[in-house]
Amino acid sequence: MGAKAKKSLKKKMSKISSSTSTQLVNGKQAAADFLPLEGGPARKLPELKELKKKSGVLYIGRIPHGFYEEEMKAYFSQFGTIKRLRIARNKKTGKSKHFGFMEFEDPEVAEVVAECMHNYLLFEHLLQVYVIPQEHVHPKLWKGFNYRFNPVDRLQTERKRQNKERTLDEHRRLVGRIMKRDQKRRKKIEAAGLDYECPEFVGDVKCVPKKIKFSQD
């Protein structure tokens, strides 16, 4: 190696050691992670961010009438395997509230479903499909998701309420409410100018009338 080549090599090494051994990062001096063999500026490795756990839970809104659990599972199974599915229903009547939740085994499949099915026209309804972030998924979202809803028999409940045994105080309150309604009715008839004699209501609170039970027929 000639003298000129040695001098040029020394100059390059001195430049690399003086100017590229450290670099300015966010206004502070920070040591370089490595120096390239062929020379040039020092490089800093990019900071790796922690990968957040993706969610496979979808919110589905504006669900049309008749498009329920079995129909939804059969339709959305074409995208991937469904882990859980739940439609919000009225506790008294069991009717759908037209929104629900669905969870896929693969979170990437859930993202594809949200992109493809959002604003999709189905039975004159534009479906609203969104991916719910993992931190926003309620811990009790899937509680009782696999049960078959049995609507409350309102007729049987009302029959039991009417047939229950009443005490003297309960009977007194019942008669008082009937008398108030009767007085309001009389005032309305007089205000209308009608000539009508209302039948007298006899309600002796001291003696409880014989219990009348409502039959199931």
DSSP 150: -
Residue range 137-161: mean pLDDT, rounded: 80
**Domain's final residue, options 115, 136, 157:** 136
Closest to 122 in 3D by CA, of 186, 75, 85, 154: 75
**Could you give phi then psi for residue 128, rounded to 5 degrees?**
-110, 110
Question: Which residues are CB-neighbours of 77 under 8 A, at least 6 positions away?
Answer: none
78 in a domain, yes or no? Answer: yes
**pLDDT (0 to 100) of residue 216:** 59
30 in a domain, yes or no? Answer: no
Q: What is the pLDDT of residues 99-131, one digit of tens each?
A: 999 999 999 999 999 999 999 999 999 999 999
Band of residue 3 on the pLDDT scale cut at 50, 70, 90: confident
Band of residue 75 on the pLDDT scale cut at 50, 70, 90: very high
115 in a domain, yes or no? Answer: yes
Q: Are residues 75 and 114 in the same domain?
A: yes
44 in a domain, yes or no? Answer: no
Q: What is the largest CA-CA distance in the chain?
A: 134
63 in a domain, yes or no? Answer: yes
pLDDT at 35 over 60: no
pLDDT at 28 over 50: no
What CATH number is given to the structural domain containing 63?
Answer: 3.30.70.330
The residue segments making up the domain with residue 177 are 165-191
**Domain's final residue, options 136, 154, 176:** 136
**pLDDT (0 to 100) of residue 121:** 95
Q: Are residues 122 and 170 in the same domain?
A: no
Q: Is the pTM of this model over 0.85?
A: no
Q: Are residues 63 and 104 in the same domain?
A: yes
pLDDT at 178 over 50: yes
**Mean of the per-residue pLDDT values of the chain:** 79
pLDDT at 30 over 60: no
214 in a domain, yes or no? Answer: no
Q: Are residues 129 and 61 in the same domain?
A: yes
Structure-model confidence comparison of residues 101 and 18, the more confident one = 101
Q: How many structural domains is the chain composed of? A: 2
pLDDT at 1 over 90: no
Element (H or E) spanning 22, and its range? strand 22-25
pLDDT at 10 over 50: yes
% of the chain residues with pLDDT over 70: 67
73 in a domain, yes or no? Answer: yes
Element (H or E) spanning 156, and its range? helix 154-163
148 in a domain, yes or no? Answer: no
Q: Are residues 69 and 129 in the same domain?
A: yes
Give the position of tokens 């037209």.
Answer: 98
